[in-house]
């Protein structure tokens, strides 16, 4: 019934009604006793759509979806090696709003807004105010791409690019599709998992009509994020000609078991999504309690290889600063 009431609302309304109160979240889940274990951050505050909360188990303090969004006192503990800009992205933006780290593709931070604040987010300290492209910067961005003939793909990121209106998103698509050198436009987004209605008919029709290949990389960490309702929207998106991939982060206490990773890959495939990357955690300040030693990740990965067909096993990678690619984890190094 809760899900039914939520999904009658359009995605913009759901976005505006996202929960930002720790007390309200704990009250909805009958977990008021957890109040002593958490804190209320003044930076990177709690934000979670109600449709995502509806997928959480009432009364379960260890729910894997809840643990991704609930502020924890451990975030306040400074840990050596965990820093504000773990990927040195502030050194990779030659133009406001554009990151050029990989040779053939650039990333545009079209917005600093997200529908959900994941506590392990590697951009939680990113200075969006200094990096969001203004209207005046749009021509500079297209000029930069044109002057770099090696660029054939643009990644729309943020924040979350699907948190902006269709009008703003389509304006970006129009500008990019007008550049003949571009063959692919990619969207990195969490919206389909937290507000499936964002994949509305107008959006899917526009993506289907693009002259460029459209790739949508969703960010799903646990099988429980994909219920039947969410799967239907993902399947419609795939039917519209969009290539759907998933990138997940290995998170301690959330998806760090063979059972959890196997269920995630299988649920993704059922919904029309291929596993793409399994990231070892980026060492961002405040997220050390989600991390695992690399050896743990490697052992888990070997178990996945033994259990799943190859097309359901994501690439195990780590992103490092100043590297022009995702760095594959050497799974033979510690065997």
Q: What is the pLDDT of residues 218-261, one digit of tens each?
A: 999 999 999 999 999 999 999 999 999 999 999 999 999 999 99
Contact 107, 98 (CB under 8 A): yes
Contact 106, 154 (CB under 8 A): yes
> What is the distance between the alpha carbons of residues 35 and 266, in angstroms, rounded to a whole number?
35
In the predicted model, what is the mean pLDDT of residues 282-291? 92
Instruction: Select the highest-mean-pLDDT range: 39-48, 66-75, 134-143, 201-210.
Output: 201-210
Beta-sheet pairing, 105-109 with 315-318: unpaired
pLDDT of residue 1: 37
pLDDT of residue 28: 97
Q: Residue 253, SS3?
A: coil
pLDDT of residue 2: 47
Q: Residue 216, SS3?
A: strand
pLDDT of residue 90: 62
pLDDT of residue 4: 47
pLDDT of residue 334: 60
Mean pLDDT, the chain, whole residue set = 92
pLDDT tens, residue by residue, 76-135: 889 898 887 776 656 667 788 898 988 899 999 999 899 999 999 977 776 666 667 777
4 or 161, which is more confident?
Answer: 161
> What is the distance between the alpha carbons of residues 60 and 303, in angstroms, rounded to a whole number?
28
pLDDT of 7 above 60: no
pTM as predicted: 0.94
Q: Is the Cα dihedral 162, 168, 174, 179 positive or negative?
A: negative
DSSP H stretches of helix in the chain: 2-6, 11-16, 22-28, 50-53, 66-69, 128-131, 137-147, 166-177, 191-194, 201-209, 228-239, 258-270, 294-307
| CA-based nearest residue to 51, from 246, 191, 261, 234 | 191
| CA-based nearest residue to 251, from 204, 287, 215 | 287
Those residues with Cβ within 8 angstroms of residue 159's Cβ, 6 or more apart along the chain or in another chain: 109, 110, 111, 112, 113, 114, 123, 128
pLDDT of residue 129: 62
pLDDT of residue 106: 95
Q: Can you list the domains of the chain with their CATH numbers?
A: 2-76 (no CATH), 89-328 (3.20.20.70)
> What is the distance between the alpha carbons of residues 90 and 105, in angstroms, rounded to a whole number?
17
Please tell me the chain's helix, strand, coil percentages from 3-state DSSP, rounded to the nearest 5.
Answer: 40, 15, 45
pLDDT of residue 92: 62
pLDDT of 20 above 80: yes
Q: Binning pLDDT at 50, 70 and 90, where does residue 326 land?
A: confident
Chain CA centroid to CA 309, Å = 25
pLDDT of residue 6: 57
Those residues with Cβ within 8 angstroms of residue 286's Cβ, 6 or more apart along the chain or in another chain: 44, 75, 76, 82, 119, 124
Q: Which two tokens stand for residue 48?
A: 């979670």
Residue 242, phi-psi category: left (phi > 0), alpha (psi -120 to 50), beta (remainder)? beta
pLDDT of 297 above 80: yes
């Amino acid at each position: 019934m809760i899900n039914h009431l939520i999904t009658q609302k359009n995605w913009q309304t759901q976005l505006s009604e996202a929960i930002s109160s720790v007390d309200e979240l704990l009250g909805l889940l009958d977990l008021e006793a957890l109040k002593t274990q958490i804190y209320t951050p003044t930076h990177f505050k709690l934000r979670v759509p109600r449709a995502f909360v509806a997928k959480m188990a009432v009364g379960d303090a260890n729910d894997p979806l809840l643990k991704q969004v609930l502020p924890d006192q451990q975030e306040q503990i400074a840990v050596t090696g965990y820093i504000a800009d773990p990927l040195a992205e502030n050194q990779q933006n030659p133009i406001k709003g554009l990151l050029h780290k990989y040779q053939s593709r650039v990333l545009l931070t079209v917005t600093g807004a997200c529908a959900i604040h994941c506590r392990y987010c590697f951009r939680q300290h990113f200075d969006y105010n200094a990096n969001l492209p203004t209207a005046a910067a749009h021509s500079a961005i297209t000029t930069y791409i044109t002057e770099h003939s090696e660029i054939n793909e643009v990644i729309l990121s943020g924040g979350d690019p699907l948190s902006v209106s269709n009008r703003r998103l389509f304006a970006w698509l129009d500008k990019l599709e007008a550049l003949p050198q571009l063959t692919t436009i990619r969207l990195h987004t969490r919206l389909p998992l937290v507000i499936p209605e964002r994949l509305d008919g107008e959006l899917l029709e526009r993506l289907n009509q693009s002259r460029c290949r459209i790739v949508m990389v969703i960010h799903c960490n646990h099988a429980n994020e994909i219920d039947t309702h969410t799967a239907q929207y993902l399947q419609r998106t795939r039917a519209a000609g969009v290539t759907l991939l998933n990138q997940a982060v290995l998170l301690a206490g959330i998806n760090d078991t063979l059972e959890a990773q196997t269920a995630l890959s299988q649920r993704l495939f059922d919904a029309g999504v291929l596993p793409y990357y399994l990231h070892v955690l980026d060492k961002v300040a405040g997220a050390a309690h989600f991390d695992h030693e690399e050896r743990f990740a490697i052992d888990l990965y070997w178990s996945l290889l033994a259990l799943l067909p190859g097309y359901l096993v994501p690439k195990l990678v780590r992103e490092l600063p100043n590297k022009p690619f995702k760095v594959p984890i050497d799974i033979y190094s510690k065997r």
